């Protein structure tokens, strides 16, 4: 694939790069959009799941007989059915669908045959134990209460470091320990770097358990049609093709085909990227009952049954020269993987080890990461997928180094940034950073925040007894990931059709969860094909109608998805011009295309409408050039050029292809009576390359920043000593509301991505990553007069107040 295959845009073309209003909004504004919970069929049953009330226990008895006799109850399933059904297999680990390379490789992964319902033991509160289907959701809830289950509680393992101790109780007895995964990555010579360093800075840094909580909970509707052996599934997933294949692998009925429709999805944020037990349970209930079955997650189920993320401890050390240069980093990471269920978290955990060096030119780097299995909800994907954790560590570490050397935190950053001249830059661990200008982004952010002016003002405010601080972070978000062993393999496929009326249909291999792909795809195709924006219709999320692909996640649509649309529209345009040249008896070079017509450049009056050309393509094939296929329907596969599957001489691979980044500065004030942190000002200078639709980019980025503020200040999934989750509703798991999220000061810097036709990088996740370190750095600065050091997120009032009380002897000031 070379860029010359893509249409070169000229100045007069304006759809691309404009803040076009979104096509997808209308149906959502009038209440017509069909989300998973809105799918309804005649004769449909409702499913409910009986979940483990214990964190760790042996299942002694699960008796559904009373429940099955109740009014309206049609079917039930329990753990002992898993093997009895004969055709059912354990859940395939996702995304590591082929197990063998990982048993002894790097990463080294331990597997366990998890079924969709627990068979002998439960390993977290919320693990599905049994399922019931009935004619009415209320009756199903009654039946769940009539299930007779007995458990023998075992000692739970909750802390990841405790889990790795020799005498820890085991989640999986045959493993011999609780190490679900081990991965080691190295680049350069860290020992030599540490030896030459003037000082070694060591720190232990903890990221709290925090998750995405889309406002739409998950849902699955399944309808098995026995005569055609076709299982149709409506799923609030981000990965319909992967789920279709995973269902076929798990429900091994001979010849059964699974078709997955991604309904409208009310936010994904990575949590709908996994492969969940319900995606098998509900189809099974449909197969058993021969009726359509719907399951809709409740919020309290979501908080225990849908992936958690972020919980990691890093013991990191940096070798630093007196002038502030960081010469080497070594990190020892332990992730709390929860019950290590196959929802995708292990891939996220591996990712963390790659990116601790962040925005800095540090080639001597090594890290090892261990995923500890514990009795918590499984770790999974979450906006910032495994990259938020190392970004937090490096951006905190830089501030800690600045403090040790009595330098300004900005100075350490400017001294260590990857210079703009060195892009594309191959990092110590292999990924090739496409482009960037980190010093300029930070300079702009400092200017917008009036950084040095604030430093002056801070002195005065401190004299008045105010605790105000300023903190920064420059975070890089490796995006558009790729992984072998599933459909996530570095490509994006798009089918495009122009019909005889010159209406255009685009079939995307991935669906969307609110990012606006219908609009942005239409912008690209409208521009390239010169047809009206409103004449374009985008189809997505149906695994039979759409080309195969891996879905929407990892901020990949703006990178590989748009590239696929550029390519598909480009080959369709080529064909239109070739047909026009034949019809007009001239060469393609003599022709151009604008406003729904193809015309001779020399004589614009000599033209054909797009409809005339399209009708020839379908109805008058004898007029087409010799050997040309009829019709105007093409399939295009875009292959990501910035992905490197084959190891280089140092054994490195490159699985992420674009590297958006954000320079953020937070000004905060801490109320030392309550421990409450107020964000006074928040500046962000964001670079995602060229912007296809700036309105959408800003919307994505603003939402991401708010999401990051949640993780920085409010959101933590807490457990008691028995492994009972303490916050399973939005009453106690606190998402930021309109009152907590400030109005951001936003600016864009543009360094185009040289590896994509549009120059785009990923755009939806970077903002989630920056606030935890930027706000932590700011709050630590605010509390500097008290000498307080922060070592974890979130900075809840309770945590901050406890640190203040340690320093001030436990009394309110």
Partner 1 sequence: MSKINITVEINGQKKSAEVEGRMLLVHFIRESAGLTGTHVGCDSTNCGACAVLLDGRAVKSCTVLAAQANGRKVVTVESLSDGGKLHPIQSAFLERHGLQCGYCTPGMLMSAYWLLSRNPSPTEEEIRKGIAGNLCRCTGYQGIVDSVKLAAERMKEAK
Question: Residues interacting with partner 1, by CB under 8 A?
Answer: 21-22, 24-35, 37-38, 137-138, 212-217, 264-267, 269, 296, 298-300, 513-516, 695-696, 698-700, 702-707, 729-731, 735, 737-739, 741, 743-744
Q: How many whole angstroms separate alpha carbon 241 and alpha carbon 304?
A: 26
Q: Minimum Å distance from CB 708 to partner 1?
A: 10
Q: Minimum Å distance from CB 21 to partner 1?
A: 6
Q: Minimum Å distance from CB 729 to partner 1?
A: 4
- Do the beta carbons of residue 90 and residue 250 sit within 8 Å? yes
β pairing state of 219-225 and 293-296: antiparallel
Judged by beta carbon, residue 266 or residue 384, the one nearer partner 1 is 266
Judged by beta carbon, residue 570 or residue 762, the one nearer partner 1 is 762
Helices (H) and strands (E) in the chain, counts: 22, 31
Q: Minimum Å distance from CB 673 to partner 1?
A: 23
Q: Which two tokens stand for residue 408?
A: 């300004």
Q: Which two tokens stand for residue 804?
A: 């203040």
Which parts of 691-783 fold into alpha helices (H)? 694-709, 766-769, 771-782
Q: Minimum Å distance from CB 798 to partner 1?
A: 20
Judged by beta carbon, residue 456 or residue 738, the one nearer partner 1 is 738
Q: Minimum Å distance from CB 490 to partner 1?
A: 27
Which parts of 325-436 fold into alpha helices (H)? 345-354, 388-404, 409-416
Q: Which of 778, 665, 768 is nearest to 708 (CA)?
A: 768
Q: Minimum Å distance from CB 269 to partner 1?
A: 7
Q: Who contacts 363 (Cβ-Cβ below 8 Å, separation ≥6)?
A: 187, 188, 428
Judged by beta carbon, residue 593 or residue 704, the one nearer partner 1 is 704
Q: Minimum Å distance from CB 300 to partner 1?
A: 6
Q: Who contacts 529 (Cβ-Cβ below 8 Å, separation ≥6)?
A: 498, 504, 569, 572, 573, 576, 593, 610
Q: How many whole angstroms separate alpha carbon 287 and alpha carbon 611?
A: 47
Judged by beta carbon, residue 71 or residue 189, the one nearer partner 1 is 71
Judged by beta carbon, residue 79 or residue 516, the one nearer partner 1 is 516
Q: Where are the beta strands (DSSP E) in 34-142?
A: 45-51, 57-63, 73-78, 108-109, 121-122, 128-134
- Do the beta carbons of residue 300 and residue 337 sit within 8 Å? no
Q: Minimum Å distance from CB 48 to partner 1?
A: 13
Taking phi over 0 as left and psi of -120 to 50 as alpha, with beta for the rest, 571 belongs to: alpha
Q: Minimum Å distance from CB 633 to partner 1?
A: 30
Q: Which of 660, 618, 695, 614 is nearest to 767 (CA)?
A: 660
Judged by beta carbon, residue 34 or residue 808, the one nearer partner 1 is 34
Q: Which of 320, 319, 316, 295 is nearest to 305 (CA)?
A: 295
Judged by beta carbon, residue 108 or residue 299, the one nearer partner 1 is 299
Judged by beta carbon, residue 355 or residue 385, the one nearer partner 1 is 385
Q: Minimum Å distance from CB 522 to partner 1?
A: 15
- Do the beta carbons of residue 45 and residue 285 sit within 8 Å? yes
Judged by beta carbon, residue 483 or residue 681, the one nearer partner 1 is 681
Judged by beta carbon, residue 239 or residue 246, the one nearer partner 1 is 239
Q: Minimum Å distance from CB 742 to partner 1?
A: 9
CA 188 to chain centre: 30
Neighbour count for residue 189 (Cβ, 10 Å): 13
Q: Minimum Å distance from CB 739 to partner 1?
A: 5
Q: Which of 682, 676, 674, 663 is nearest to 766 (CA)?
A: 663
Judged by beta carbon, residue 146 or residue 735, the one nearer partner 1 is 735
β pairing state of 491-498 and 536-540: unpaired
Judged by beta carbon, residue 29 or residue 602, the one nearer partner 1 is 29
Q: Minimum Å distance from CB 219 to partner 1?
A: 10
Judged by beta carbon, residue 72 or residue 424, the one nearer partner 1 is 72
- Do the beta carbons of residue 428 and residue 418 sit within 8 Å? no
Torsion angles phi and psi, residue 76, rounded to 5: -150, 155
Judged by beta carbon, residue 646 or residue 738, the one nearer partner 1 is 738
Helix or strand run (H / E) with residue 578: helix 562-584
Count the alpha carbons within 13 Å of 781 in the hemisphere toward its beta carbon.
27
| Burial track 562-591 (b if 16+ CB lie within 10 A, e otherwise) | bbbbbbbbbbbbebbbbbbbbbbeeeeebb
Q: Minimum Å distance from CB 259 to partner 1?
A: 22
Q: How many whole angstroms separate alpha carbon 242 and alpha carbon 240?
A: 6
């Amino acid at each position: 694939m070379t860029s010359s295959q893509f249409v070169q845009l000229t100045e007069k073309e304006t759809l691309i790069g404009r803040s076009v209003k979104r096509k997808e909004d209308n149906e959502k504004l009038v209440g017509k959009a069909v989300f998973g919970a809105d799918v309804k069929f005649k004769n449909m049953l409702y499913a409910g799941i009986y979940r483990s009330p214990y964190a760790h226990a042996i299942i002694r008895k699960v008796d559904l007989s009373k429940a099955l006799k109740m009014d309206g109850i049609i079917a039930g399933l329990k753990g002992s059915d898993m093997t009895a059904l004969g055709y059912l297999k354990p859940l395939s680990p996702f995304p590591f669908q082929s197990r063998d390379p990982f048993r002894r490789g790097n990463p080294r992964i331990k597997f366990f045959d998890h079924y969709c319902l627990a068979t002998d033991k439960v390993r977290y509160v919320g693990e599905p134990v049994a399922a019931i289907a009935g004619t009415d959701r209320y009756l199903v809830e009654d039946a769940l209460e009539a299930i007779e289950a007995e458990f023998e509680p075992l000692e739970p393992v909750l802390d990841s470091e405790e889990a790795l101790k020799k005498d820890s109780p085991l989640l999986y007895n045959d493993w011999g320990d609780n190490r679900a995964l081990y991965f080691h990555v190295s680049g350069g010579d860290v020992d030599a770097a540490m030896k030459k360093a003037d000082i070694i800075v060591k720190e232990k840094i903890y990221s709290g358990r925090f998750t995405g909580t889309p406002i739409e909970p998950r849902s699955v509707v399944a309808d098995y049609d026995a005569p055609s052996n076709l299982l149709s599934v409506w799923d609030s997933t981000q990965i319909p093709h992967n789920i279709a294949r995973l269902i076929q692998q798990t429900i091994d009925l001979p010849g059964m085909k699974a078709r997955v429709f991604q309904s409208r999805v009310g936010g994904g944020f990575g949590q709908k990227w996994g492969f969940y037990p319900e995606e098998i349970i509900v189809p099974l209930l449909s197969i058993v009952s021969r009726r359509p079955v719907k399951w809709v997650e409740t919020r309290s189920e979501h908080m225990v049954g849908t992936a958690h993320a972020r919980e990691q401890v890093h013991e990191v050390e940096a070798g630093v020269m007196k002038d502030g240069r960081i010469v080497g980093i070594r990190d020892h990471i332990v992730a709390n993987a929860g019950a290590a269920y196959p929802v995708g978290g292990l891939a996220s955990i591996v990712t963390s080890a790659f990116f601790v060096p962040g925005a800095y030119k540090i080639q001597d780097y090594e890290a090892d990461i261990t995923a500890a299995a514990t009795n918590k909800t499984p770790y999974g994907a979450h906006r910032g997928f495994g990259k938020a954790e190392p970004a937090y560590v490096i951006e905190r570490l830089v501030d800690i180094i600045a403090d040790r050397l009595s330098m300004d935190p900005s100075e350490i950053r400017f001294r260590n940034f990857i210079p703009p001249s060195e892009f594309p830059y191959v990092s110590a661990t292999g990924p090739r950073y496409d482009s960037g200008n980190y010093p300029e982004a930070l300079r702009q952010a400092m200017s917008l925040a009036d950084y040095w002016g604030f430093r002056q003002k801070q002195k005065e405010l401190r004299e008045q007894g105010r605790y105000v601080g300023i903190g920064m972070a420059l975070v890089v978000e490796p995006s558009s990931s790729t992984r072998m062993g599933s459909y996530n393999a570095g490509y994006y496929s798009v089918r495009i059709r122009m019909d005889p009326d010159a209406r255009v249909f685009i079939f995307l291999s991935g669906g969307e969860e609110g990012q606006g792909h219908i609009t942005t795809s239409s912008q690209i195709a409208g521009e390239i094909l010169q047809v009206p924006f409103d004449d374009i219709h985008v189809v997505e999320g149906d695994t039979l109608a759409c080309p195969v692909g891996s879905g929407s996640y990892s901020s990949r649509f703006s990178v590989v998805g748009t590239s696929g649309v550029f390519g598909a529209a480009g080959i369709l345009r080529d064909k239109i011009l070739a047909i026009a040249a034949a019809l007009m008896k001239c060469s393609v070079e003599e022709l151009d295309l604008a406003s729904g017509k193809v015309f001779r450049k020399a004589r614009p009056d000599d033209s054909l409408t797009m409809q005339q050309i399209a009708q020839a393509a379908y109805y008058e094939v004898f007029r087409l050039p010799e050997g040309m296929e009829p019709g105007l329907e093409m399939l295009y596969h875009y292959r990501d050029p910035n992905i490197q599957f084959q190891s280089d001489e140092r054994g490195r691979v490159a699985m992420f292809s674009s590297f958006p980044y954000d320079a953020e500065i937070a000004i905060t004030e801490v109320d030392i009576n309550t421990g409450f942190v107020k964000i006074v000002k928040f500046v962000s200078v964001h670079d995602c390359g060229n912007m296809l639709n700036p309105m959408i980019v800003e919307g994505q980025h603003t939402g991401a920043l708010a999401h990051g503020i949640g993780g920085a200040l409010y959101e933590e999934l807490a457990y008691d000593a028995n492994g009972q989750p303490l916050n399973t509703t939005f009453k106690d798991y606190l998402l930021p509301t309109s009152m907590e999220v400030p109005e951001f000061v936003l600016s864009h810097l543009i360094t185009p991505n040289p590896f994509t036709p549009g120059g785009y990088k990923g755009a939806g996740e970077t903002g989630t990553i920056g606030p935890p370190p930027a706000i932590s750095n700011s709050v630590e600065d605010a509390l500097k007069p008290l000498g307080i050091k922060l070592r974890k997120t979130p900075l809840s009032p309770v945590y901050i107040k406890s640190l203040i009380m340690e320093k001030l002897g436990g009394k309110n000031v």
